[in-house]
Chains A and B, each alone.
Chain A
Amino acid sequence: MEPNVVSETPTETASSDDDQSDRDRIDDWAHYLVSNAEDASALTFADVDGAADARSFLDATDFSSQTIYVERHLVDECFRQRLCWVRWTENNIETDYARILRDADVACEANAQVAVTYLIRLPVTLEPGQINSYSSGSGGGPCPRPDDATPEGNAS
C-alpha cells in the first residue's frame, strides 16, 4: 500500500522529564495510538512545560477522522529533536527526526538525557490493533524527504 506522508509537521511536545532518577523506568523508545476521545481523556500529564498545550491539542482532535500517534524518545539534553516527517499505512507508522544542537547559552550536560514525547495528529482513523510495524529514525543536519514516499495531506 502506498504510504501517506506528512512532512515538516508542526509538532506538539507533550511532556519532558529530566528527572535522572527515573531513567531506569523510562524505555528508550515508546509509542502508541490514541484513536478515540475516551482514551484521550484518560491520558494524564506530568506538571511540565507543554502539558497544557498537549491537553488542548488532544481536546481539539476530531477522532471521527483523526488519530493521535504518541511517540517518546530519550534525547540528549543539549539537543532539540524536531519531527521531520511521519508516514503511515493502515499497518505501519514511520517517523523521522532531526537532531539539532541547542545554543551555547543553554545550560545542559553532554551526557544527560531527557524524555521527549510527541503527539502527532494523523488525518486518518487508524485501528491500533492493525498497526504491526513501527519505525523511527534520527540524525544531524536538515530534515530529509522520505526516499520513496509521495507527500500527501496537510500538516496538522
Chain B
Amino acid sequence: MTRTDRRRGVTRRHLLALSGAGALAGLAGCSGLLSGQPEQTVDADALAEMVAGDALTVPETLPVDIEASFVAEQRSIAESDLDRIPAPFDSETIPNGVIRGRLNNMYDSATDSVARIDEAETPYERLQRANRARVSAHEARAGWRAIDDDLTLAALRESVPSIEGRIASVVQRWSHVGDDPVRAIVVHEAIESEIRAARNWLSSRNRRERSDGTALDVADLAEDLERARTSVTVAAYVFDRFRAGLDTTTEQRPRFEAAREELRTRLRDRQDALPPRDVDEPTSLVDRDIEETTGVRALASLGTEASYRAEQLTESDDDPFLANEVVGAADALVYARAFESLRERLENGDDVAVESVDDVSALRSDAISAVEDARSTDRGPLLVNELLPRFANEIRWTDERFARESGTTSLDSVAYDAVDYVVAAATCRAVPRVSADVAGVLRDS
C-alpha cells in the first residue's frame, strides 16, 4: 500500500542532496552499532558558541556608480504598493487562512526588505534589497487585488508584451563596450544575468498555464512579472551608467571571445587531472592510505564541481551571453585549482580530519583567513570582488547550521558539515590567483 504526493517541486539536485544526506546519516548511525561502540558525540553548545557574533559576509559589488536616487526610486515603488493594501490581513478581510497567511508573509517580507535596504554595505546590495522589496510588495498587492478588485491572470498577462518590448529595447542598444576589459567583463556579466533573468521570468509558462486563477496564482504571476520588470530596469540602468562613464567605448566582444577560447583551452588542459563527475570512492582521489575524512570529502566535492563546470563550458556551443561564460570559466578554474591544492595538502600528510570541536574551529578559522587574505589582495581585485562573495558566503551557511545546534550532536554529522569550511578555505585561497590569471587573459587577448 502506497501513498504519494506527486508534483512537489523536488529537483534532481534536491533528490541527490537528500539521498546523499540520507546515505551519510545512515552510515553515521550504523558505524557505532557495527563496531559495538556508542556513537561519538561532541558538545553542540560549544559549536554554537564558536559561530556566535557577527557573521562573516562579503558584500556583492558592481564597478558602476549606482546612484542613491535610483535605489530610492525602487524603494518608493515598493512602499507605494505596500501603502495600498490593508495589511496585515485578519480573518475578516481574508477568511481563507492559507491565502491570508501567504499574503501576510509576502507583506512581512516586503516590509523587512524595505527596512534592511540601508543596512546593506554596498550600493549594489542596497539595490538588490530594494528590488526584493518591490517584488514582494507587488506580489502581495496583486494577491489582494485578486480578492478585492477581481484582478485576473488574463489581465496580468496583458502586460507581458510591454515587458518583452522593454527587454528587446535593452538588448538592441546593448553591446559589449568598455575601456578596461576586466571592469567591462564584470559589468557585462551583471547585465547579461539580468537580461537572462528577465526572459526566464517571462517564460515560466508551466507555472502560469497550470494555475487555477486563485488569489495566490495571481500573486505568483504578478511576482514573476515584477521580477522581470526589475531585472530589465537594472540591466538598462547599469548599461547606461556604465557607458556614460566611459572615456572610450571600444567594442570588447572580439577580446571576450578570444579570452573565452583561451580559458576553455586552460580548462581542457586540466580536465584529465580532475575526477569524474560522480565520485564513488573519495579516498581513491588521494595517492596514499587515508580514511574518508572531512578533507577527503571536501576534495570529492571540489572535484565534482570542477568537472561539472569544466564539462559544461568546454562542450557548450558559443553562448550569446559571453561575459557569463568568461566568468563561469573563472569559477570553474577556482574549483579546479582548489581541488589541486587540497589534494596536494592531503597527499603531503595532513588528514584534515575532525575529531573535536577544536578541529572544526581550526577549519573555520582557516576559511576566514582565506577570505581575509583574498579581500586584501591586489591581484585582480575587480574579479576578486566579483568571484569571492559566492565562495566566502558558504562559511555563513555552515555557521547558521551550527548556530541551531544545542546539547550534544553526532561527531559524524559535524565532520560532514565542516566539509563546507574546507571547501570555502580552498576556493577562497584560489580566487586571487585565478582572478589575476583571468584578468591577464582578458588584457592580453
Contacts and interface: CB of A to CB of B under 8 A. Distances in A.
Interface of A: 29, 76, 78-79, 96, 100-112, 133-142, 144
B91 A103 contact: no
B5 A137 contact: yes
Contact of A106 (B1, B96, B211): B96
Interface size class of B (residues with CB under 8 A): 20 to 34
A101 B8 contact: no
8 contacts: A76-B98, A104-B147, A107-B91, A109-B97, A112-B97, A136-B3, A137-B4, A141-B7
B3 A100 contact: no
Contacts of B5: 137-139
B3 A101 contact: no
A-B interface, 9 closest residue pairs, ranked by CB to CB distance from nearest: A139-B7, A107-B95, A110-B97, A78-B98, A139-B6, A137-B4, A135-B2, A109-B97, A141-B210
Interface of B: 1-8, 91, 94-101, 146-147, 210-212, 214-216
Given A78-B96, A141-B7, A110 B214 contact: no
Given A110-B101, A141-B210, A142-B210, A103 B6 contact: no
A100 B8 contact: no
Given A101-B212, A101-B214, A104-B215, A96 B6 contact: yes
A109 B212 CA distance: 20
Given A100-B212, A101-B214, A104-B94, A29 B99 contact: no
Given A101-B214, A142-B210, A135 B95 contact: no
B115 to A, nearest CB: 25
Contacts of A140: 7
B7 A104 contact: no
Contacts of A105: 95-96, 147
A105 to B, nearest CB: 6
Contacts of A96: 6
A140 B220 CA distance: 14
A137 B6 contact: yes
A88 to B, nearest CB: 14
A104 B6 contact: no
Contacts of B212: 100-101, 142
